[in-house]
Amino acid sequence: MSITYKQLAAGLVLAFGGLASAQAATLTISCGNNAADVEFCGKFAEEWGQKNGHTVKMYTPPASTTDNLALLRQQFAAKSSDLDVIMIDVVWPGVIKDHLVDLKKYSKGVEKDHFPAIVANNTVDGKLLGIPWFTDAGLLFYRKDLLAKHGVKVPQTWEDLAAGAKKIQDAERASSPDFQGFVFQAKAYEGLTCDALEWVVSYGGGTIIDGKGNITINNPQAAKALDAAASWIGTIAPSGVLNYGEEDSRGVWQNGKAAFMRNWPYAWSLGQAADSPIKDKIGVAALPAGTGPGAKKAATLGGWQLAVNKYSKNVDAAASLALYMASAEIQKKRAVGGSYNPTIPALYKDADIAKANPFMVELLDVFTNAAARPATATGLKYPEVSNAFWDATHDVLSKKSTGAESVKKLEAKLKQIKKAKW
């Protein structure tokens, strides 16, 4: 059983199994918000509780990562102990660093088994603020059966995708009038920052702000990337995509109503479920490249970490739970059952994981070379930077602005946010 953030805010926390005793702790862990998150977080947290004589409750955060962060910041401002173990996005450690426990005291060096770049991302001012839980990168999902039926190859460029999606969409609408060529995340939130960064990087337009903190977004290739994406709305993507998050996209896709989808790896196992209309019809590939100078394939780095709330009344137990959930044993079970990409390189050689998720091994370079959002360079100001970027992108997608106009305005806005320094 899960609880919503509204219930948590009201203090109406529901127990999620586990065994309790008079001396036992009661802990609340933040899991994700889709069906796979609930299943492959809650049951392992309960398992830990049973082994250790504790009660574990599961908290389901808002679906939007933007709303999730805002709510966490309210909780931290109140020094709330409601949450013990918190699932944090890869771009949050620098933003909420003052409210998290340094896990080095508890980890006994186990972080060395994880991807070094993710550990470095989670280390702020020498403190390990999150233990890597799963990594992520944007992927292209496609209908193998429909590409074969209509003679369309897996797209290597966004132009290829637009042409192939249109061909399949036009043909399929004869029998399915609401069929779409391509669905993705275009709502004005952090998910759009992820999608749009992929477009911009793939067209050779840089990473919004470079590693030295220089604002680089105002360039012709970035403008071209946003204009290309805007051309998809109303042609191969429905206008409703302007309000789509991850689960909205997946709903259309998994109901068999789209040829292509951009999403995260979790969508694989759900699409392969026994009751899925598209089971065994799904292909997964790297996202396409743009065109022009510097064009290349690009995927935004995602992923989540487990952190311990500094205000928890049970810090030691919470750290033990976080490390258990991020262990190789649990990461393997989550990879096989829920298609969550492990953060432990050795697991990519595991035969069970490779069999359940062939794309993980085939596309390992996508995950290890994904483009990072400019969170490290901008620190505490990253949420403002991202908000400005997704708003500028949304203006282009909704035809309120051109790519060139939008990146020029965005540059000015980012200079305001930066002021003297990040």
Tens digits of residue pLDDT in 261-280: 999 999 999 999 999 999 99
Q: If we measure between CA atoms, which residue out of 83, 119, 111 comes closest to residue 99?
A: 83
Degrees to nearest 5, angle at CA 279 with 275 and 281: 160
Q: Does the domain at residues 26-136+302-369 carry the CATH identifier 3.30.420.10?
A: no
- Helix or strand run (H / E) with residue 180: strand 180-183
**For the chain, which residues make up each domain, given as ranges?**
26-136+302-369, 139-300+374-418
Local structure of residue 153 (DSSP, 8 states): P
Q: With helix as H, strand as E and coil as C, how does 80-125 read?
A: CCCCCEEEEECCCCCCCHHHECCCHHHHCCHHHHCCHHHHHHHEEC
Name 264's Cβ contacts closer than 8 Å, sequence gap at least 6. 136, 137, 138, 139, 246, 302
- Residue 307: strand pairing partners: 86
From first to last of its 422 residues, the chain has per-residue pLDDT tens of 444 444 444 442 333 333 333 478 999 999 988 778 888 999 999 999 999 999 999 999 998 999 999 999 999 999 999 999 999 999 999 999 999 999 999 999 999 999 999 999 999 999 999 999 999 999 999 999 999 999 999 999 999 999 999 999 999 999 999 999 999 999 999 999 999 999 999 999 999 999 999 999 999 999 999 999 999 999 999 999 999 999 999 999 999 999 999 999 999 999 999 999 999 999 999 999 999 999 999 999 999 999 999 999 999 999 999 999 999 999 999 999 999 999 999 999 999 999 999 999 999 999 999 999 999 899 999 999 999 999 999 999 999 999 999 999 999 999 999 998 99
392-to-64, 159, 236, 386 alpha-carbon distances in Å: 19, 22, 22, 10
> Which is it for strands 180-183 and 258-263: parallel, antiparallel or unpaired?
parallel
Instruction: Give the integer Cα–Cα distance in Å for 385 and 86.
Output: 23
Do 26-136+302-369 and 139-300+374-418 have matching folds?
Answer: yes
> Which is it for strands 282-285 and 258-263: parallel, antiparallel or unpaired?
unpaired
- Helix or strand run (H / E) with residue 69: helix 65-77
Instruction: Give the integer Cα–Cα distance in Å for 180 and 363.
Output: 26
Local structure of residue 292 (DSSP, 8 states): S
> Which is it for strands 55-59 and 26-30: parallel, antiparallel or unpaired?
parallel
DSSP assignment of 191-253, as one string? Answer: HHHHHHHHHHHHTT---SB-TTS-B---SHHHHHHHHHHHTTBTTTB-GGGGG--HHHHHHHH
CB-based contact 291:159 (threshold 8 Å): yes
CB atoms within 10 A of CB 415: 10
Q: Which homologous superfamily does the CATH classification assign to the domain defined by 139-300+374-418?
A: Periplasmic binding protein-like II (3.40.190.10)
At 298 the three-state DSSP class reads: coil
